[in-house]
Amino acid sequence: MISATQQIICPRCKQDYVIKVVVKIDGEVMQICPECDACWKYEDHILFETFNTFQNYARKNTISSTWDQVQVIEESFPQPKERMI
């Protein structure tokens, strides 16, 4: 699980920070990479070996795999010195 102060780079793509979202249709809280859609259940450790894809999650739960299915709860932003311009 991540907190507002933690910043975890996605172990799958290494291109973005993992954020906390809630799936609107069922209320499940999960962590997802906005870049590659790798996702983890909120209580799972964020590791390359444990990721699922949001597309697989959506297919299993018979919902669309689009971002309008989730609501961002907590974003994890890099510190100003790490931000890319």
At 9, which amino acid appears? I
Give one DSSP letter per residue of 2-56, joined into a string: --TT---B-TTTSSSB-EEEEETTT--EEEE-TTT-EEEETTS---GGG-EEHHH
Total number of domains in the chain? 1
The whole-model pTM stands at 0.78
Instruction: Tell me the residue range of the domain where 24 lies.
Output: 19-76
Please report the pLDDT score of residue 74 as a whole number.
82
Assigned domain for 1 exists? no
Q: Evaluate whether residue 11 is within a structural domain.
A: no
Which ranges of the chain have pLDDT less than 50? 1-5, 79-83, 85
The answer to whether residue 10 is domain-embedded is no
Do the domain assignments include residue 38? yes
Residue 22: beta bridge partners? 29, 71
| Residue 47 covered by a domain | yes
